[in-house]
Amino acid sequence: TFLASKYGWPSNKMIFRHLNATSLMQYSVTSQELGGSRWAAFRDQASAEAFLNFYRWYLGDVALDKTGRDDVKRKEAEKEVVEFAMQVYQLDKASMKEFLKRVIQIQRNFRRKLAMIKLAKSTRRETQRLGAERRYSQKVDKVGKASRRTRTPDEIRAWMITELELKPKLVDAMLALVPASQEDETQV
């Protein structure tokens, strides 16, 4: 009861009522949940966190599920990093909070810039792909429209040299293979 009055913890009866009311939920009890509970009237979230820390200290890590243990490990790792950075940069806690805020802001801006570069590259690649498809489609349409009408052998020769980029000697050899009677009906 001394700790409860010092830290603003509710009675055991109120905690029990909260745990019964939320017993169907499949997640572990957090300080945010306890701090916002209407059955367990904690002063604030800090007092709820102090309550959970006390029971973790008293009972050990067996009081936590896997998620809770992972959360505790993450918080301890963060605390070690902050303490190390405070020693390296010789900052007090207030300055360290501001420093961390700036570091996070720089990291966020850097990640945003990387994402923008990646998006620009993928957009450029997609534009190039669509441009190539469009050029190919236009070439096919041009060939299709041109092939709907009957062409003279000279037109066919010119088309094969310019559009298909074949050598003139090869075109002449190919056209020499076509019998004279079929030349009038040739369509490309």
pLDDT at 114 over 80: yes
Q: Give the three-class secondary structure for 152.
A: coil
pLDDT at 102 over 80: yes
Q: Are 4 and 11 in contact (CB under 8 A)?
A: yes
What is the distance between the alpha carbons of residues 55 and 113, in angstroms, rounded to a whole number? Answer: 44
Residue found under tokens 């810039």: 113
Secondary structure in 3-state letters for 33-100: HHHCCCCCCCCCHHHHHHHHHHHHHHHCHHHCCHHHHHHHHHHHHHHHHHHHHHHHHCCCHHHHHHHH
> What share of the chain in percent tops pLDDT 90?
5
| From 64-73, 76-85, 125-134, 136-145, the region with the lowest mean pLDDT | 136-145
Q: Confidence class of residue 183 from pLDDT cuts 50, 70 and 90? A: very low
Rounded mean pLDDT of the chain? 79
Residue found under tokens 């501001």: 98
The pLDDT value given to residue 110? 92
pLDDT at 40 over 80: yes
Q: Confidence class of residue 144 from pLDDT cuts 50, 70 and 90? A: low
Q: What is the pTM of this model?
A: 0.41
Strand (E) or helix (H) holding 137:
helix 93-147
* Average pLDDT value for residue range 80-108: 85
Q: Confidence class of residue 112 from pLDDT cuts 50, 70 and 90? A: very high
Q: Which amino acid is at 95?
A: S
Work out the burial of residue 18: count CB atoms within 10 Å of its CB; fewer than 13 is exposed, 13-18 middle, 19 or more buried.
buried
* Average pLDDT value for residue range 144-158: 69
* Average pLDDT value for residue range 61-71: 78
* Average pLDDT value for residue range 164-182: 76
pLDDT at 23 over 70: yes
Closest CA to 40 of 8, 86, 67, 87: 8
The pLDDT value given to residue 154? 83
Q: Are 51 and 34 in contact (CB under 8 A)?
A: yes
Q: Confidence class of residue 147 from pLDDT cuts 50, 70 and 90? A: low
For 108, other C-beta atoms within 10 Å of its C-beta total 10
Q: Give the three-class secondary structure for 186.
A: coil
* Average pLDDT value for residue range 104-128: 88
Instruction: Measure the N-to-C terminal CA separation of the chain; round to a whole number of Å.
Output: 98
For 171, other C-beta atoms within 10 Å of its C-beta total 17
pLDDT at 37 over 60: yes
